[in-house]
A and B are shown apart, each in its own frame.
Chain A
């Protein structure tokens, strides 16, 4: 059986010109992404310099400090130098992977280390929640669109929208109270878990359940609604009528013809969202004391520990840019129409 899409792939006019078109496209997109990241770095640097607050005063607040100590700190942190010199140093260090040093949270520790140590817990949490949210969202979205205006559609859309609008920290706390100690309420590891690999893995999974479910509950709605609307858009397409006319079962028409086409916008969304979901985990990580980037952001905001915040925002913004780049590249692979146009 041949769909119109397949025909397009087979006679892709781009193929004759070899890979140059594709290479130019990729190069252009990568360059754009790099420029965005540099702009983000410049913007953050000057934005953070405009915030009120003397960093040395913030560091020594509520602590007995002599004037000599304060002068020493001022010189060490370079805050007495002109701002463009500071930027030059910052950017040069950044090229070497140096994001500066923490001031309040972990005085003197490289920010890059602090972010590195928090990265994996966040990827585990956000990754598993996104994966489950995509699976659940797509599945519900497909069902809901196929049986548009049915009880299933209405109730599921209603539930998803309700959960989407609930504050994450509140939902997290409610889950904590409702599960009544069945799942641990903090962190990623229990100090009492046995040291063997199996117990440790189970322990991490056990800790993962509540934060993951909270994120999942809040995030699946967007995937569901996008899937639903894009499938609805495909439902009256001619090729579906053809497929039905061939006598295919409704189930198969949906799975083999409608869904693959409707998946395109959703794929883009998954990637674009992943970057912002990283940042969206802040409140959930705070409620469950999950030792990830979100929690670090929360702590750094409280200080405020500006070098840490600046490093975090730079990393998070770069993640969003990279994910958008990936989405654009992947879209080209997935949808031949983008390539030919």
Chain B
């Protein structure tokens, strides 16, 4: 070692020093060299804080990927911007047969794929038929076609879909229509080639893919021939951020223009900042406190290990009386949400249900105490009530350990229930552990929630008898294990009702029925928290209107309607202090080079002296 090292050091010492100086100078000079950018037109930069799995619309299941599908492909119909109701897109109109089993869509003519070929009903028929015949094509949106019998295109402007049973979401099939001439030759839809621009890039939506760098960014150019008219920006970029704090910082520094999925702390920190506008939109998700009322599987056998005391509706009522949903919105959500009512969030105003004054179980700890007292649960000397068998009222409360929302709610609920003589043992766990437990009823109280669709069917279906798991604990899609004849009857009625107003009536009655049985407490609907650079963009089209989300949409309205601020206002990032940085950089380079020379001189003289 010694010999080698000495030789090496003698030879390389001088070079190493010079090399180090050069390297340092290069590092310092990098920020000066960078402005070599191919910048053009008005660009909308969106911070993307969730992952992309595929560009292939058949296999793209993550929300960011389906969003890319929305920006690039047209659908038969899409929820409109105003009320998130079915509105014409590729289909100009649609008519169900009287038995609601055959749906005929009139396809718009004159729409073109980005390679110039016309979009016809045959493309739509191909898309659905591929999903019916190819398992891989069902990866992302298979549930929409599970009930289809045949899909045909008698001519270029007519699409006919026959279903095996009545399907309520036929006017909102969330399936991107792909070009037949591109996708038909592809045999394996899982092949990596289906994620390339040559395949997934041929599209007919408001934006067209131009570049995809996995794990980094996606670039789109505006579709100038889009049938609704060209978007107001020339380019759209989705920039991947793995850390939301870094994304917030990028918005502050003007590196991105729009950001969503903020938490309440980040949101409030952006409020009132120069050039930034915040947007708190009603959310599509409900949060709940599920109560294990003695749950059963779909053969009505009891499962799980819920505390039997919760079978008593009076105990469930008392718990509901003791949970202050307004306080949860004010304190845990910092006011950025709406107080819960039914399982259809307030954003879907037509189907949302709020208890009337007479139906509402108001927050009232004294009344909750009275309810328990009258039901025969007496307080012991330690303030804890005891049940009929002499057992103390003690409930386990579970939820997501990694969510601050669950932690906050758990604290408040524990305190309130203590006041009415019920001890709560908190046991917040990992997401997987939580879904394992709730899937088989192993909980007393569980903090959870579901994202919902514009159509209320999904949110309601979670509480039907049929959604419960099989006796082996598998196959369930239930949320609450609720099984109630009156509820199921209302659910079936809304499923087949053709009159919109009547259907809305059944949907609301079903929610009222659920509310009155206390299998769960809908706590709130969290707001979708977004912010944008209002110095660069004056307006976005929100969904719904007037108070809706920019990015958290079922549709392309937000990016399609993005309006750059001012005329000719270029949306590229500011370089106001470039001169300052050039000066600083130059000084650093001079100091480093000077220091390096001095050092290497010293080294030389030392060696000379030897």
Residues of A within 8 A of B (CB): 3, 5-6, 9, 51-54, 57-58, 61-72, 105-109, 113, 117-118, 135, 169, 172-173, 176-177, 180-195, 198-199, 202-203, 205-206, 209, 248-249, 251-252, 255-257, 259-261, 263-264, 285-289, 291, 295-296, 298-299, 304, 334-336
Which listed segment binds A: B85-93, B199-207, B241-249, B287-295? B241-249
Question: 12 other contacts beyond A64-B458, A289-B241, with CB at 8 A cut-off?
Answer: A61-B435, A117-B214, A135-B20, A169-B243, A173-B245, A189-B213, A191-B239, A194-B36, A202-B36, A206-B34, A252-B610, A286-B243
A sample of 12 inter-chain contacts (CB < 8 A) reads A3-B2, A54-B435, A70-B475, A135-B20, A187-B215, A191-B219, A205-B26, A206-B30, A259-B5, A261-B1, A289-B246, A291-B215
Docked CA distance A9–B59 (Å): 63
Contacts of A199 in B (CB 8 A): 36-37
Q: Is the CB of A289 within 8 A of B243?
A: yes
Q: Is the CB of B458 within 8 A of A63?
A: no
Q: Is the CB of A335 within 8 A of B1?
A: yes
Any chain A CB within 8 A of the CB of B255?
yes
Given contacts A105-B51, A106-B53, A289-B241, A192 and B250 within 8 Å (CB-CB): no
Given contacts A52-B430, A63-B61, A69-B138, A186 and B246 within 8 Å (CB-CB): yes
Q: Is the CB of A264 within 8 A of B1?
A: yes
Given contacts A69-B142, A189-B213, A260-B6, A205 and B581 within 8 Å (CB-CB): no
Q: Is the CB of A67 within 8 A of B249?
A: no
Docked CA distance A306–B142 (Å): 24
Given contacts A69-B138, A263-B5, A182 and B581 within 8 Å (CB-CB): yes
Q: Is the CB of A107 within 8 A of B54?
A: yes
Given contacts A63-B61, A64-B458, A193-B36, A289 and B240 within 8 Å (CB-CB): yes
Contacts of A194 in B (CB 8 A): 36-38
Any chain A CB within 8 A of the CB of B579?
no
Selected contact of A107 from candidates B26, B53, B146, CB within 8 Å: B53
Docked CA distance A96–B245 (Å): 41
Docked CA distance A188–B36 (Å): 16
Interface of A (DSSP majority class):
helix
Q: Is the CB of A105 within 8 A of B253?
A: no
Q: Is the CB of B246 within 8 A of A52?
A: no
Selected contact of A62 from candidates B54, B59, B451, CB within 8 Å: B451
Interface flags, B450-494, vs A, CB<8A=1, else 0: 110000001000000000000000110100000000000000000
Docked CA distance A191–B235 (Å): 11
Interface residues on chain B, number (Cβ under 8 Å): 75
Q: Is the CB of A291 within 8 A of B214?
A: yes
Q: Is the CB of A107 within 8 A of B214?
A: no
Docked CA distance A188–B451 (Å): 33
Contacts of B363 in A (CB 8 A): none
Contacts of A66 in B (CB 8 A): 142-143, 146
Contacts of B431 in A (CB 8 A): 53, 58, 61
Given contacts A72-B135, A185-B249, A202 and B242 within 8 Å (CB-CB): no
List which B406-458 residues lie within 8 A (CB) of chain A: 430-433, 435-436, 439, 450-451, 458
Contacts of B39 in A (CB 8 A): 192
List which B56-75 residues lie within 8 A (CB) of chain A: 59, 61-62
Given contacts A53-B433, A188-B216, A249-B610, A107 and B475 within 8 Å (CB-CB): no
Contacts of A71 in B (CB 8 A): 475
Given contacts A52-B432, A192-B37, A5 and B2 within 8 Å (CB-CB): yes
Interface of B (DSSP majority class):
mixed
Going nearest first, the 3 A-B pairs with the smallest beta carbon separation are A53-B432, A291-B215, A181-B253
Return the chain A residue nearest B475 by Cβ. Answer: A67
Q: Which of A176, A180, A184, A185 has the most CB of B within 10 A?
A: A185
Docked CA distance A109–B213 (Å): 16
Q: Is the CB of A180 within 8 A of B253?
A: yes
Q: Which of A176, A191, A291 has the most CB of B within 10 A?
A: A191
Docked CA distance A198–B13 (Å): 30
Q: Is the CB of A53 within 8 A of B436?
A: yes
Contacts of A264 in B (CB 8 A): 1
CB distance from B427 to the nearest CB of A (A): 13
List which B130-162 residues lie within 8 A (CB) of chain A: 135-136, 138-139, 142-143, 146
Contacts of B436 in A (CB 8 A): 52-54, 57
Contacts of A249 in B (CB 8 A): 606, 609-610
CB distance from B104 to the nearest CB of A (A): 25
Given contacts A194-B36, A256-B9, A286 and B54 within 8 Å (CB-CB): no
Contacts of A263 in B (CB 8 A): 1, 5
Q: Is the CB of A291 within 8 A of B216?
A: yes
Given contacts A69-B138, A105-B51, A334 and B1 within 8 Å (CB-CB): yes
Docked CA distance A222–B213 (Å): 36
Contacts of B249 in A (CB 8 A): 173, 176-177, 185
Q: Is the CB of B33 within 8 A of A202?
A: yes
Docked CA distance A254–B556 (Å): 68
Q: Is the CB of A287 within 8 A of B243?
A: yes
Docked CA distance A183–B213 (Å): 20
Q: Is the CB of A107 within 8 A of B139?
A: yes
Return the chain B residue nearest A101 by Cβ. Answer: B190
Q: Is the CB of A186 within 8 A of B239?
A: yes
CB distance from B581 to the nearest CB of A (A): 6
Any chain A CB within 8 A of the CB of B176?
no
CB distance from B37 to the nearest CB of A (A): 5
Q: Is the CB of A299 within 8 A of B51?
A: yes
CB distance from A92 to the nearest CB of B (A): 21
Return the chain B residue nearest A203 by Cβ. Answer: B34
